[in-house]
Every structure is written in C-alpha cells, then in structure tokens.
Amino acid sequence: MDKKRIVVFIGPSLPLKEAKKILDAEYHPPVARDDVVVLLNDPPDIIGIIDGVFYQQPAVSHREILRALEAGVTIVGGSSMGALRSAELDYAGMIGIGTVYQKYRDGIIESDDDVAIVFNPLTHEILSEALVSMNHNFQMAEKEGIITLNEVETLYQTAKNIYYPQRTYPRILKDSKLEENKKKDLEDFLDSKGTDIKAEDARKVLKYIKTMV
C-alpha cells in the first residue's frame, strides 16, 4: 500500500522536534491565507492544522479548507487555529480534536483572542500565554483550593483585558490585586502543575493522524 502523504501546519504550540517523534509528516510553518490552496496543486492525503497566523497576515480561509475537503483531502484540526477552524467546519467534514476544539464547538470560548499568542518567528519561542490555557490553570487551582471561583473570574477578566502580546502570568498576577500569599501559592501551583492545553491538544492531533496511516 502506498504511503499516505501528510502535511501538518505547526508552530509554537508544540516543538517541531517533539512533533516529529510522534508523527512522520511534512511539517510547514503556521498556516496562512492560501497555503491550503497551494497544496491542492498536488493534494496530500491528510492535512493537519495546529497553528496558524491570526493578526500578522490574513488567516486561512474557510473557503480554501472547504475546497480541500471537497477534493477528498482529510483535514484534522486542533490546539489553536486548527481548533477554531474545525469547530466552524466540522459540519462539512473537518475533524476536530482536543479540549480547545471542544470549547469552541460548545461556545465556551468564541474569540480567536483566546488562543492567540506572540512568538519569536525564528525560534518559535512563546513570548506570551494563551488565555485558554491560563483560564484552564486558574480553574485547576480553584479545584485544589488555592483560589476561589470569584478569584478565577477576576484573574480571567484581568487577563482578557490585557492585549494578547502582553499576556503573561507575572503581568496578570501583578494586575489582579490578589492577596500576596495567594499570589505565591498560585505561582507555585503554576510552576509545578500548570498545563499547556494547546500543547496537549497538538499531541492529540498528531496521535490521531497517526492512527489513520
């Protein structure tokens, strides 16, 4: 049987080195407008969309993803741009994977601002935190009794009101007016148990695709 051709658009959500250990594929930088259209000149069997550009240049369009689906390409998304587009296009056959996809699908989050970050374009080093991961970690801290539900909401609103490139844990804790002892306990929790759900979802997307080949 011929080996399936797989193209994955990935960026800061998961280090490329780790991605390659999970799935043998052609890895491209975060998807932008017309990148999927270009692939249709020689269509792959499967396209995985994890990361994509939001504000730096035009984002991948719904139309080009629909064209690829109509051409018989299997498209799997999750984690970041892939989660957003799959929640919008799962009705047409795009496959959504992971927690972030489910939150978009269920209307728990709606804006691309919830997954937007800034990163070094050369190294893909993450320079800000994704709101969706931050809120997940605040909720986990509440379950462990570190902060209250009201404080989760305060932290979330504090983070939401900060422009996404400046959204970091130190900045939010500084602006939140949380009691100093709670700030310290929350910092310790984030250091020891903080989860990057975008990275987790990126791994899930790659593992899912691996089951298809």
Question: Tens place of pLDDT for every residue, the chain, 213 residues?
Answer: 578 999 999 999 999 999 999 999 999 999 999 999 999 999 999 999 999 988 778 999 999 999 999 999 999 999 999 999 999 999 999 999 999 999 999 999 988 889 988 877 777 778 899 999 999 999 999 999 999 999 999 999 999 999 999 999 999 999 988 889 999 999 999 999 999 999 999 999 999 999 998
pLDDT of residue 177: 85
How many independent structural domains does the chain possess?
A: 2
**Is the domain of 23 the same as that of 93?**
yes
Please indicate, yes or no, whether the overall pTM of this predicted structure exceeds 0.85.
Answer: yes
Q: Residue 152 sits in which domain range? A: 131-195
**Is the domain of 45 the same as that of 74?**
yes
**Is the domain of 22 the same as that of 90?**
yes
Which ranges of 40-179 would DSSP assign to H, the alpha helix?
Answer: 62-70, 81-89, 99-105, 131-143, 149-160, 169-175
Q: Does any domain span residue 1?
A: no
**Is the domain of 87 the same as that of 54?**
yes
**Is the domain of 173 the same as that of 72?**
no
CA angle 201-99-154, nearest 5°? 115
DSSP SS3 for 7: strand
Q: Does any domain span residue 16?
A: yes
**Is the domain of 145 the same as that of 94?**
no
Provide the token pair at 2. 């011929």
Provide the token pair at 180. 């100093």
**Is the domain of 101 the same as that of 148?**
no
Q: Does any domain span residue 126?
A: no
**Is the domain of 18 the same as that of 47?**
yes
CB atoms within 10 A of CB 38: 10
pLDDT of residue 1: 53
**Is the domain of 138 the same as that of 98?**
no
